[in-house]
Amino acid sequence: FSRCMIAVGGRPTPLNCEGGELAISSDDIFSLDRDPGKVLCVGASYISLECAGFLRGIGKDVTVAVRSILLRGFDRECAKLIGEHMKDEGIVFREEVVPNKLEKVGEKIKVTFSNGETDEYDTVLAAIGRSGDTSKLGLENVGVAVNPKNSKISAKFEQTSVPNIYVIGDVMDGCPELTPVAIHAGKALSRRLFGGSKQAMDYRNICTTVFTPLEYGTVGYSEDDAIAEFGEDSVTVYHKYFIPLEWSLSPSRGSHQGFCKAIVNKHTDKVLGLHYLGPNAGEVMQGFGTAMKLGCKFEDIAETVGIHPTTAEEFTTLSITKESGEDAAASGC
């Protein structure tokens, strides 16, 4: 063949401990033929936290086992706020532990954790990441380099270590595990190969939403990554807490707050990243994705007239910076 495209995706990584086969994956949870009952979600990925959130939402007793930090790769401040919200919803977090052993005890699964503690669950759901589905492709026969840790394929501009073999989607190492990303990358690659385009896929300014009980929408740099790349003296963070109108009308949600922030290059005023915690996060963030692709500046957002009363308009009223030390709580309606 003259060219080959690999787009086989990924599969949930299984638990690597004694009795790990007793755990189900996120692929299995929706096809259960029984009540999941008391659930242990293993992992702090967005898949684990989303599953924990909806299971708690339907009234289940849910525990999340966290090896290190929540939502690795996402903004640390936002991840912390999500964790606090989920705890307030009644989700239990076992922190800095992993399962060492799963064993069947009657109809239950007994889990022994790395700190020596034990508990019993009706369902154990493993969501510790995804591995590339490459084991049966015979890539070693053609010299395609594969990451031994996750079976994913290394690539630059979707081109692997073998020049006429390309890769897109979840199976590409370092690629965001999102279906629209794979579709867009495939289109961009096709245009470059057959349409004369020179436009590479932009993997930085991709809108992402985590559908946890407190929804999280983001595009661009996290605060931490922006500081690491541009330097703390070059980054300004505008932030704001607010109570969405629809929450203020609910006795059960009126005590919760939304949050948004803009990460801005202090020297150029270019917006490096936007982060939003609140209702309809995906709908809010999608429009800002286009603005980010166009290289919007913070002044562009500040000079935009907001639609009232919406939560998206909170970005247009951002004025308080972290370095000012002023209270970031919103006032008024």
Whole-Å CA distances, 237 to 160, 242, 283: 37, 16, 23
Joined together, the tokens standing for residue 237 give 């963070």
- Helix, strand, or coil here: 92? strand
Residue 32 burial (CB count, 10 A): 12
Report d(CA 90, CA 68) in Å as an integer.
Answer: 20
Joined together, the tokens standing for residue 156 give 């630059």
Buried/exposed code over 231-257 (b: 16+ C-beta within 10 A; e: otherwise): eeeebbbbbbbbbbeebeeeeeeeebb
Tokens 């199976």 found at = 171
Is residue 308 flagged as an active site residue? yes
The residues carrying an active-site annotation are 308
